[in-house]
Amino acid sequence: MYTFHEEYIVDQNGQKKSVVLPYKEWQKVVEDLEELEDIRQYDMAKTKASDAVSFDKAIKELIK
């Protein structure tokens, strides 16, 4: 789980408009989001029907 040291930028009415994070915390968030996207892409690829070919057969086809 994350521990954030966030700071908020507010408007003249005190409404939160933006968040400021230390750079290292932001990097961790971005890395985790990228990993999540990879997982989602993998899961999506696994659900699609495909004509899987064994490695050996693929090599033989490439050599032809």
pLDDT by position in tens, the chain (length 64):
789 999 999 999 999 999 999 999 999 999 999 999 999 999 988 887 777 788 998 898 899 8
Amino acid 11: pLDDT: 97
Q: Is the pTM of this model over 0.85?
A: no
Amino acid 51: pLDDT: 76
Amino acid 64: pLDDT: 81
Q: What DSSP letter does each residue of 1-64 carry, written as one string?
A: ------EEEE-TTS-EEEEE--HHHHHHHHHHHHHHHHHHHHHHHHHS------HHHHHHHHH-
Amino acid 35: pLDDT: 97
